[in-house]
Amino acid sequence: MSPDARQVGLPPLRASRFLTSDTLFYVGIGIFIVSFLLPAVNLNGLGNFDGFACAWLSLFALQDGMSVSALAFFGGLINPIVIAYVLLRILGRAPSVRKGLAATILFFIPITWLSLAFMSYRIEVGHVAWILGIFFMISWSDLSYYSPTPARARKSLK
């Protein structure tokens, strides 16, 4: 807190009050959902695909016979994995599974970018919102290697 704020008697601002992990999580869910309604990719000037169309087309990228990059399939897998992650986090279950899901999501995102580059598609606002929503939803504590020692184990160490 600055000296001027103390003199005036203003309470100190704490970022944790406004930007808690839960707040970012729910904001991320909102951004993620809205991203499906926004244009996600531009097909070389032929028009835009919204996020919903991209999600469905990428799930079937391996089956379509068109010259779509097979790497797009990994982008299609992100959405079901995100849904599983969100459900487990809301329920407060399976932290080790959530860790694996979060790592998988973060691994698949660059593969999605590679597929878009191979297909020469341009990224639009919906794709950026989709990634931002995912980043807000992921609890970075799920990805940490630090595992707190349970109380029973600490007592036995003494």
Nearest Cα residue to 43 out of 29, 30, 60, 57: 57
For residue 91 the two structure tokens come to: 């329920």
Does 143 have pLDDT greater than 90?
no
For residue 38 the two structure tokens come to: 């926004």
Does 68 have pLDDT greater than 70?
no
The dihedral built from the CA positions of residue 45, 46, 52 and 56, taken in this order, carries a sign that is negative
pLDDT of residue 11: 59
d(CA 12, CA 34): 34
d(CA 82, CA 132): 13
Q: What is the pTM of this model?
A: 0.76
pLDDT of residue 119: 84
Write out pLDDT tens, residues 8-22: 565 555 555 556 778
Q: How confident is the model at residue 158 (pLDDT cuts 50, 70, 90)?
A: low
pLDDT of residue 72: 84
